[in-house]
Amino acid sequence: MSQAVVAEHEFGLEPAESPLTPESWGKLGMWIFLAADAMSFGGLLAGYGALRYGDPTWPRPSEILGIQLTAFMTFLLICSSVTMVEALAAIRAGDQAGLRKFLTLTIFGGLTFLSLQSYEWTKLIVHEGQSVSKNNFGATFFILTGFHGCHVFGGVTYLSAVLGRAVRGVSGAIIVAVTAVVGAIGMLWITSHMFNAFVGIGAALVVAGIVYAVTNALAAPGREVYDAHDNSEVEIAALYWHFVDLIWILVFTFVYLI
Amino acid sequence: MAVHTAEQLAHEHRRYLQVFVWLTVLTALELGVIKMPISGFAIGSMLVLLAGTKAALVALFYMHLSVEKRTLAYIALTPAVLCVFLVFMLLPDLGAITRALTHASPPPAAGEAHH
């Protein structure tokens, strides 16, 4: 009888393995979450297409939006996906320093993406007079890219928590807190131009995220949290980050190029 | 959790870099396609094809769907199928939403017409 079956039989514990994802139930849970999240984005993109089709006043996106800048942002997210898979590959090889290095690079890529998005939004709102309430273009553009930006922000916080657990202790907590604060300031700055309700929600989420992440990092046990045998948390976080990249690939094409 | 051998890790590393190169090349192709002197429909079709290829590369190799159990692929495909269904459901209304919004604004009042 395997250890998992014995544990379930004697102590009423849930087996650690699932028939769908032998590594962890968490991975299955993340896939189901991502499927639901993909439907949210699918609904938004379908709504965007329905509103855009047949609207003679719809502006040419390339004339309003900076294609070069967003192409660079796309490249940046692709690079961050590479650093994320390298982080997972590093810990699978038992390389703790590699995990920390590539996770840090991924977080840096996410923060740079958010900074560039804030620059783009500021340019559009302040200098070109676009807003979410001006026309259908503004409404769909800001909601789609804003929803995705919230996902990037969530991903940065999530990866910071993983990095904090990888570093452990006070140093880990400081890394998590600093990253979360920088991300929070960026997000509040982005949204403060137009979405007052979003600012409040964002601030609440940020505070909750910081408290969770710092507590998580401080509570990490003395030994290494991740190693070559136990790295499913890193893999699950990577799934989320790649999903954010995948969605941006679609948003970039449908909103900026077509 | 299965432990990966050094050969497996080296193979995965090469694969990740190959996918990265393909993603970069396809993004550059997208930027080239929008400047081609062809019809908008042809440009749109090519862009959708390129974006679909890029998304599939990320899902298959970075999210490891190519080596996961088939059930996970079904979970991943479900939203895509439902979104295609949603698009078909919206087809009869295409343009109608815009027309309704365009013509829904009330005519100006008599006093305002002189201003």
**Residue B62: Cβ within 10 Å count:** 26
Specify whether B58 is located in the same domain as B86: no
Residue among A31, A55, A258 whose CB faces B75 most closely: A31
Taking the C-alpha atoms of residue A125 and residue A132, their distance in angstroms, rounded to an integer, is 9
- Answer yes or no: is pLDDT of B65 > 50: yes
CB contact under 8 A, B3 and A84: no
> B59 lies in a domain?
yes
Write down the pLDDT at residue A192: 61
> B110 lies in a domain?
no
Shortest CA distance to B46 belongs to which of B29, B24, B28?
Answer: B29
**Chain B residues with CB inside 8 Å of A36's CB?**
79
**Hey, is the C-beta of A38 within 8 angstroms of any chain B C-beta?**
yes
**CATH entry, A24-257, from 1.10.3720.10, 3.40.50.620, 3.30.110.30, 1.20.120.80:** 1.20.120.80
Three-state secondary structure of A201-225: HHHHHHHHHHHHHHHHHHCCCCCCC
Query: Scanning every residue of chain B, which has its alpha carbon at the shortest distance from the alpha carbon of A62?
Result: B34
Specify whether B11 is located in the same domain as B37: yes
Specify whether B12 is located in the same domain as B56: yes
CB contact under 8 A, A22 and B87: no
- Answer yes or no: is pLDDT of B113 > 50: no
- Across A98-103, average pLDDT: 93
**Chain B residues with CB inside 8 Å of A226's CB?**
none
Write down the pLDDT at residue A17: 53
Residue among B13, B54, B76 whose CB faces A35 most closely: B76
Query: Scanning every residue of chain B, which has its alpha carbon at the shortest distance from the alpha carbon of A89?
Result: B9
Q: Which of residues 84-123 of A touch B (CB under 8 A)?
A: 84-86, 89, 92-93
Taking the C-alpha atoms of residue B68 and residue B64, their distance in angstroms, rounded to an integer, is 6
Write down the pLDDT at residue A250: 95
Specify whether B60 is located in the same domain as B100: no
Taking the C-alpha atoms of residue A256 and residue A246, their distance in angstroms, rounded to an integer, is 15
- Structural domain of residue B80, as residue ranges? 69-104
Task: Tell me the average pLDDT of chain B.
Answer: 83
Taking the C-alpha atoms of residue B91 and residue A157, their distance in angstroms, rounded to an integer, is 39
- Answer yes or no: is pLDDT of B98 > 60: yes
Specify whether B8 is located in the same domain as B62: yes
Q: What angle do CA B39, B41, B45 make, to 5 degrees?
A: 120
Residue B1 near residue A232, CB atoms below 8 Å: yes
> B111 lies in a domain?
no
CB contact under 8 A, B20 and A78: yes
Specify whether B8 is located in the same domain as B54: yes
Q: Which amino acid is at A41?
A: F
CB pairs A-B closer than 8 Å? 136
ipTM of model? 0.82
**Hey, is the C-beta of A252 within 8 angstroms of any chain B C-beta?**
yes
Residue among A46, A228, A242 whose CB faces B62 most closely: A242
- Answer yes or no: is pLDDT of A195 > 60: no
pLDDT band at A110 (very low <50, low <70, confident <90, very high): very high
- Across A28-43, average pLDDT: 93
**Hey, is the C-beta of A32 within 8 angstroms of any chain B C-beta?**
yes
> B53 lies in a domain?
yes
CB contact under 8 A, B62 and A243: no
- The number of distinct structural domains making up chain B is 2
> B96 lies in a domain?
yes
Structure tokens at A74: 């796309």
Question: For chain B, what is the total number of helices (H) and then of strands (E)?
Answer: 5, 0
Write down the pLDDT at residue A43: 92
Q: What percent of chain B has pLDDT over 70?
A: 79
- Across A144-166, average pLDDT: 88
- Across B70-99, average pLDDT: 83
- Answer yes or no: is pLDDT of A44 > 80: yes
**Chain B residues with CB inside 8 Å of A24's CB?**
1
Residue among B12, B71, B86 whose CB faces A20 most closely: B71
For A53-135, where are the alpha helices, taking DSSP H only?
61-64, 67-92, 96-122
Specify whether B1 is located in the same domain as B11: yes
Write down the pLDDT at residue A142: 92
Q: Where are the domains of chain A?
A: 24-257
Write down the pLDDT at residue B14: 92
Of A100-104, A142-146, A153-157, the least confident: A153-157
**In which element (H, E) is residue B63 found?**
none
Q: Which of residues 180-239 of A touch B (CB under 8 A)?
A: 228-232, 238-239
Taking the C-alpha atoms of residue A112 and residue A93, their distance in angstroms, rounded to an integer, is 28
- Across A29-36, average pLDDT: 93
**pLDDT per residue as tens digits for the range A209-237:** 776 767 776 766 667 788 888 888 999 99
- Answer yes or no: is pLDDT of B84 > 90: no
Specify whether B37 is located in the same domain as B9: yes
Predicted model pTM: 0.82
**Chain A residues with CB inside 8 Å of B97's CB?**
50-51
Query: Scanning every residue of chain A, which has its alpha carbon at the shortest distance from the alpha carbon of B34?
Result: A257
